[in-house]
């Protein structure tokens, strides 16, 4: 699988860009703030319909388009949207994916909101249906937070990985989130005396049903991922041993239904659900010691790389098709040996897009890049 073409209209710093990519190692180089990361962000948007850099989607729309929308007039209807379009070559043929973001009048929270429209081969699609069509693995500097950051980042890492190979899992996640929202609302009403305790029974059952499915699938995947991550870390770091384990919020001797029943009074007092997969974690250890506490910054960065390489290997094994690798400025903080190993691994995939401000770092690759493109002031050439 590889991205053969990328077109951007009013996306970030790009007003109108059409770019062809070759398979193999593709290097995008240029100074900071020139738009390199924007290109990888656009490519990743085609994979999961979400940005990896922001949760505020109107930030993706080019500022000139935003200004046109603010001023109104005839041109606004044509320019107040951002379009990311890509052609992906897969083992079963070509995919044309379009993600459009249109600015519409907002509410008290802001002058504009974003309406998202997705099409795959010309047919309307949902974000849920898009996930898994174009598999991509993103490496970036923030991956250190997978080790030293809060559990939410590690849960998101797992959920994105599993969703790319298991669409029913993604639908279960969405149902669980709806149940959690409804249950938390009811807990707050109970705390305020505006609901009856028996009203929780239905939502307790739904939470246990959907939550058990999520927990079981995560545990299965971590068992597969653990050996892949350990091998990747061994290749990057040498003698140290990395291990992964699932840390559920429910004790191994209990199931979610039992834990919810036991915690009901505590949850009513707090007004929030405190057990379930939304409170679970992925624990990482080096030689048996918690990486979140004992890993140095360099070790944490290496673990992050190992997790991403394991993610790519997992997708390749399960989907029987190689994902596209997106490496966003991860080379500069690695020593020469680790850079060589990461670049060698990236070059073993059908396509890897790599950004760097220092082209000399890529010259350490065992095999030369297939293409090198310079990004400057929103132009690529």
pLDDT digits (tens, 9 = 90+) for 174-222: 999 999 999 999 999 999 999 999 999 999 999 999 999 999 999 999 9
Question: Which residues 6+ apart lie within 8 Å of 267 measured at CB?
Answer: 187, 260, 273, 274
The neighbour count for residue 251, using CB atoms within 10 Å, is 11
pTM for the full model? 0.92
Domains and CATH numbers, the chain: 1-135+323-381 (3.40.50.300), 141-320 (1.20.1050.90)
Q: What is the pLDDT of residue 378?
A: 80
pLDDT at residue 366, as a whole number: 72
Q: Is-contact 352 324, C-beta < 8 A? A: yes
- Distance CA(291)–CA(293), nearest Å, equals 5
Give just the sign of the alpha carbon dihedral 51, 55, 60, 61. Answer: positive
DSSP E strands, 198-315: 242-247, 281-286, 289-290
Give the C-alpha distances (Å, rounded to integers) separating 266 from 41, 50, 258, 285: 42, 35, 14, 32
Contacts of 283 (CB under 8 A, 6+ apart): 244, 245, 246, 247, 290, 292
Q: In the chain, which stretches have pLDDT less than 50? A: 74-78
Alpha-carbon torsion angle 17, 22, 24, 27, nearest 10? -30
Which of 365, 364, 359 is closest to 373 using CA atoms? 359
pLDDT at 27: 96
CA distance 17 to 245: 44
- Whether 232 and 310 have beta carbons less than 8 Å apart is answered as yes
At 76 the pLDDT is 47
pLDDT confidence of residue 114:
84
Burial label for 14, CB within 10 Å (0-12, 13-18, 19+), is: buried
Sheet bearing 379-380, strands edge to edge? 136-140, 324-328, 351-356, 24-29, 371-376, 379-380
- Report pLDDT for 58: 83
pLDDT at residue 79, as a whole number: 59
């Amino acid at each position: 699988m590889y991205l053969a073409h990328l077109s951007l209209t009013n996306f970030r710093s790009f007003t109108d860009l059409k770019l062809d990519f070759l398979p193999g190692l593709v290097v995008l180089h240029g100074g900071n703030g020139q738009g390199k990361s924007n290109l990888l962000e656009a490519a990743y948007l085609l994979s999961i319909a979400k940005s990896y850099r922001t949760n505020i989607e109107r930030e993706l729309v080019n500022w000139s388009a935003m200004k046109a929308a603010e001023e109104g007039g005839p041109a606004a209807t044509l320019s107040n949207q951002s379009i990311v379009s890509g052609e992906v070559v897969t083992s079963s043929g070509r995919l044309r994916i379009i993600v459009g973001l249109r600015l519409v009048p907002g509410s008290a929270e802001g002058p504009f909101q974003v309406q998202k429209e997705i099409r795959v081969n010309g047919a309307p699609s949902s974000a849920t249906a898009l996930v898994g069509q174009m598999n991509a693995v993103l490496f970036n500097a923030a991956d250190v937070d997978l080790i030293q950051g809060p559990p939410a980042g590690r849960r998101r890492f797992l959920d994105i990985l599993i969703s790319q190979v298991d669409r029913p899992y993604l639908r279960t996640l969405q149902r669980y989130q709806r149940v959690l929202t409804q249950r938390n609302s009811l807990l707050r009403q109970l705390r305020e005396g505006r609901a009856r305790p028996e009203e929780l029974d239905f939502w307790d059952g739904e939470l246990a049903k959907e939550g058990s499915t999520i927990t079981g699938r995560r545990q299965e995947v971590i068992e597969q991922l653990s050996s892949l991550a350990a091998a990747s870390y061994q290749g990057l770091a040498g003698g140290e041993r990395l291990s992964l384990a699932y840390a559920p919020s429910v004790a191994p001797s209990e199931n979610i239904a039992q834990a919810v029943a036991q915690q009901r009074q505590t949850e009513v007092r707090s007004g929030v659900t405190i057990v379930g997969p939304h409170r679970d974690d992925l624990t990482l250890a080096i030689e048996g010691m918690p990486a979140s506490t004992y890993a140095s910054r360099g070790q944490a960065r290496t673990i992050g790389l190992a997790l991403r390489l394991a993610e790519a290997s997992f997708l390749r094994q399960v989907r029987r098709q190689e994902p596209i690798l997106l490496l966003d400025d991860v080379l500069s903080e690695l020593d020469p040996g680790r850079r060589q190993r990461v670049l060698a691994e990236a070059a073993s995939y059908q396509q890897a897009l790599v950004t760097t401000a220092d082209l000399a770092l890529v010259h350490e690759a065992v095999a030369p890049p297939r293409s090198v493109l310079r990004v400057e002031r929103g132009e690529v050439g």
